[in-house]
Structures are given as structure tokens and as C-alpha cells.
A and B are shown apart, each in its own frame.
Chain A
């Protein structure tokens, strides 16, 4: 059995503080944490090779080191538990199974950055997880693990759960902050970056649930041990959400660098594909899809997936078999991104909706010749021209599904007897009449 650093308490009833403690929980708080100076702790996290598990994979120690000290403003920690990327459900399970580990991780991060008030931003749909978290927080407060003067250290930390209300884009960290502040969850222009001016115009650290939950293990076993679990550049382990056509979908923690097929086929893990593998989305719905052939070559770490022109993202693996229609999957994704565009930037707002309408037209048998290229052109036009990467997150599936499964799309268009008739271009343009 591989070493588990985040999910080791699954199925052990660790929601309860006493159980969590009996499994060694809050060990870092009673032993090492407060002996470490803040900058030593940041250094330790840097050496562990821990990278953000929310999608971008930014080195956590480095992110922390950007948070200015004594800026004259409070420092906030905001936990990103807005998990919304289709295919991703690990944070959901992590919070339900082991909420105290998150709290412990937050205390570690809070101590490192000098945080007095922290928020856990949980997506609105996860009310059961919010209930779990609040119950755990209550226990932690009662045990003196939160609040004023934690364990006599002189350090004080308050944690609140903030319930989101249904918006995928709030997973983007600046949108998350806007949402926390009572605004629409629209991403902000950068700079300033949250580390310098985030929540309430104060230095803010936004970290994913899983990122923070890796900290207790790192503190207990040391950064080198954690780093050694993974590859030289992608240290540690990663929690994957596996869904789709596998025998046993679920949440699995494996060392970075594990071959994708091992995750899908190992009897201890997903136990194999249902049917014949057609492709895999390796890192959440926005990551470029891999064909079965590519999937067989893929290792699960940042660099290996980047080499295949896709990404580890949130670690959401969606496997699908040859019975699944690429057209149907892409239609489902373009609909999703159009639904979730925050509506700020013109290319994303109008473009994702436009692409969605074309996809629906194709899927309903009214596609025409040129529609596929039009889709690709639109996708290219809303990539890299927007405030946040949501538009690219739509463009990648469009480009890769059409790129890798083009015959299927063409067959769909071919169903339309009128596919070759000219476009309706009656549409006239401003200025045309004067």
C-alpha cells in the first residue's frame, strides 16, 4: 500500500475530534508547529515540493512567501472549497471524511502567514459538507484548538464557513474573493494579486482544500519525505477524483508520477475500464482530452501531462468508453461553460454562448459544413483575450474534442441534408446604412 498523506483517515470516522486525535491528528499543533518560526515554516513547505492542488499547481511555499508581513493590514486565509470543475469531487469527499485535517492544515498555514481570520468558501451545493465542517469547527473551538490563544501559544485564529450559492467561476481565486466580499463572483483584473491585495484589500492566501490537508503530514514526516513520494518536480501524492466508465469510480490518492492506466486499472484502485477505453479527460473538464492511446502513455504528474499538451489540473479523471459520443460530451461541456461564464469579458460572455448554440445546432442534426471550423475559430478568438482562464477552459475541450474525434463530428454534420446550403447572412452591420 502506497503511503497516504491526505486520505489515510478515510472510513475511520475521523469526523469526530477524538477519533481524529487518536489517529494522530492535531499532532503538529501540540508538537512542532509553534516552535517553528513563520519563515522557517514557509521554507519547510517550499522544500516539500507541495504545489497547489486547486488546478494551477503553483508552488505553495512560494505563494506563501509572496504574502507581505506587517503590511499594516490583516492577512486572510481563504480556503477554496468551491470545487466545481466537472469531474472533480475530491474536496467534497475530503471535507466529509476528514474535516479536522483541513482545520489542522489551516492552523499551520495561518501560523505561517500570521492569519487571524480565515474563511472556508464552500460551494453552495455542499450543504452536507458545510454541516460536517461546522460540527468539526465547534469541536475544535471547544477543545481550544481554535479561537484565542491556541494551545497556550499566544496565537489566535478564527475560522468561518462561507457558503457559496452556485457559480463555478467562484473557484477562480479572485472571483472567490469577490464572492466572499458580497459581490458577484467575477474575477478581478490582476495585478494586484491576492497575496498583496485580496480579500478586503488585504493580503490574502487562497489555497485549495487538498493543498492544506497535505500540511499535517508534511509537518509530521518532514518535507523531504513528502517530496520523495512523488517525482523530482512534482513532489508528494495527489488525490484523484475518478468518474466515468471505470469499474469503481471514487477518490484515490496515489503518488505523483503514477501511470494513468495504473490508477484506472489497478485492482486496489479503479479496477479497470467498463467497456473499451476511448479516451480520458485527465485533469477536470477543461483539461485537453487524451485519446486512449495517449492515455496509455500518460503519467500523473504536472510535467508528464504537460508534455502531452494537457494538464493535471484538479486531478479529475473522467474515463469514457467507445460507446460514448464525443459530440454529446462536448455539447455537455460547451453548455456548461456558457452557463458558467461570469459575463464580464465580451469574448467569453458572448463567445461561450455562441459556441454552445452552434454545438446544440450540430447535435440536433442541423449542423452545416463549416460549423466545425467556425467553432475552432471562435475558440481561438476567445482564448487568451479574457480576464480569467474560463474562456480557455472552454476552448481547450472544443479544440481537443473536435481535433481528436473529428470524424464523429463530421458524421453528425453529415446527418443534415441541408448541410451544404449557403449560410443566412441577411444580418446587416452597424454603419451599413449610413
Chain B
């Protein structure tokens, strides 16, 4: 929650690991890892998942994430402290973060923060209310500056309560009354729901992808194996002299071979010449009125044919 680390008593492995080693969590870890060519890249997401599961990130969970992503424990630890959103200490049920950065500052963030401190009776550097409901933290820009001063209640932006729901109406910033309404909303919710429902820390998982093509054992596909090769374009034909036609075109730099094809009277196209991918034009004899096209080939794969140019009669 801040990279100014705080020291807390750490729970034991036995308290934490059983909550992480569940089929549900493990299958999500597997899905996350599949998104990247190396397991390490899933680290931030796996830490999120652990935090979602436990509500915060004790050292045991960091070590567990490190094992899953095949990084050293101290790497995961250092990473978890670099980012401010990993909670190295448990927070209250409603984690209130108020932006104190410049746009919010000039719209009165300090006054709202002071009000919040007074109402909740805690400091704004991570203070917790005794009932365990609230943690108050001043933070830097939350990326909603048009609604300054901005508040986040857990992961929801909120500058007011509208129709019984937290909301951030366009152009509406936090002020003491709105803050009070939000606090009241939280209290009401606490009275109605015994526990805060878990919100997916990664915004739901995706279905329909097989993961990164290089993940978990497969070799990373290189460019070209999945995107069709670029076709030749803008084929034109012109008469240079009696009976000789000049054909020009554009081809992508990676093209290796160009097949010049013609047909007559609606028949099949037949190859007339095979040219280097670097060639820029071709001059030769073509039957009058022939239709001309070029099929570009890159590294052995043929692209779809170019436009069809009419030979000069």
C-alpha cells in the first residue's frame, strides 16, 4: 500500500498456504502463467491473486508467488515492495484512498483529508479505525483528476453516493458532505453484508485464448508463422515498345520471390516469370490483352494474389 514499508508480525506458513493451494487459485495461476513466454512475467498478476485471496500480502504469500513464477523469493519480495498497491499490512474492510496530487490539491484535497481524519479519528498515512472498517491513506494521482479531489473505496472510484451506489459523476469531486455520505454507505453495507464480497483482482479471467504460443513448453512462434505474408500491390502494366510490356508493382521488403502470372480470356492464371523479391519491374513480351497479376512469396509461403492489371492491347 505504500513503498514506505512497515514492519508487521508475519503469519505462519500453516495459516497461509492452505488458503493459496486450492484448486481454484492454482488453476488461475496456471492460466496467468500461460499468458506469457516466461513464468516470471506472471509475477505481478500472481501477487495480485494472492492478495485477492488473502486480503493482503504476507511474506509467505510472496514466497509462494515466487515459487509459482520461478523467481527467487527475494526478487518477489523486492518487487512487491516496489509497487505501492501490494498491501504489506492488512487494511480495514474499506480502504479509503484520497488523492493529494496537484489537480486534487487545488480542488481542496487537504481539507477533505483533514475532514476524513477527523471523522474517522485516524491519521491519513494508513491509519485504521478500531472497528476494523476503515483504513485511510493519502495517495498520489489516481487518474481521475477531473473529479478532484478523488477517492477510491477499495477498487471503486467514488466521489459521491448516487441512488444508493458509490459513484463518480462527471465533474463531481469529493467534499466533506459527500465524504460523509460515502462513509455512511460503507457503514450501511457493513451492517447488511457480513463480509465484503471478493472482487476479482484481475477483472475476471479470459476465456477463448490458449495462452501465449510460447508458454509452458511450446516454442515461441516467430513472426510470419501466424500472419499471412504480405501480398504484392499496385501492379500496373504499360507498353514500352512494340510487343513489349513493362510491369511494375510494390512489394514488402521481406518478400523473397515474386511470381508473375497471366491469363487470357477468363482461363487459369499461369506463371510467366519467377522474380526476386527485390525486383522492382519486369519488361518482356506478353500476349496482347492478357490479364496480369503477381503472387508474392515470403519464406516459402505464398501471399494472396495482387490486383489484376490489364495488359495493353
Contact = CB atoms under 8 A, between A and B. Distances in A.
Interface of A: 37-40, 69-75, 83-89, 91-92, 111, 114-117, 119, 123-128, 130-135, 137-138, 141-142, 146-147, 153-156, 158, 160-168, 179-185, 200, 241-245, 248-251, 281, 285, 316, 318, 320, 324, 328-329, 332-333, 335-336, 339-340, 342
A115 B79 CA distance: 28
A121 B227 CA distance: 23
17 contacts: A70-B224, A73-B220, A86-B145, A88-B141, A111-B227, A116-B223, A117-B213, A123-B143, A125-B143, A134-B203, A134-B206, A141-B207, A147-B208, A328-B106, A332-B100, A336-B101, A336-B140
Interface string B127-146: 00000000000001111111
A329 B146 contact: no
B41 A180 contact: yes
Contacts of A69: 223-224, 252-254
Given A70-B224, A70-B299, A135 B103 contact: no
B140 A72 contact: no
Contacts of B43: 182
Nearest to A40: B233
B106 A329 contact: yes
B105 A163 contact: no
A133 B205 CA distance: 11
Interface of B: 3, 35-38, 40-45, 47-48, 69, 71, 78-79, 82-86, 100-103, 105-107, 140-148, 152, 155-157, 170-171, 199-214, 220-224, 226-228, 230-233, 250, 252-254, 298-299
A160 B206 contact: yes
A72 B222 contact: yes
A242 B157 CA distance: 18
Contact of B212 (A72, A158, A163): A158
A38 B254 CA distance: 10
A107 B103 CA distance: 35
A163 B84 CA distance: 13
Contacts of A185: 82-83
Given A116-B226, A124-B83, A318 B145 contact: yes
Contacts of A146: 208-209
| B103, B156, B230 interface centre (most CB from chain A within 10 Å) | B103
Contact of B254 (A70, A88, A131): A70
Main SS of chain B's interface residues? Answer: loop
A37 B231 CA distance: 6
A38 B252 contact: yes
A315 B254 CA distance: 37
Contact of A116 (B48, B82, B227, B232): B227
Given A147-B208, A318-B145, A181 B41 contact: yes
The 6 closest A-B pairs by CB, nearest first: A130-B203, A165-B83, A166-B85, A141-B208, A166-B84, A182-B43
Contacts of B48: 163, 165
Nearest to B173: A249
B79 A183 contact: yes
A84 B83 CA distance: 13
A182 B40 contact: yes
Contact of B227 (A141, A155, A243, A324): A155
Contacts of B152: 125
B221 A89 contact: no
A124 to B, nearest CB: 4
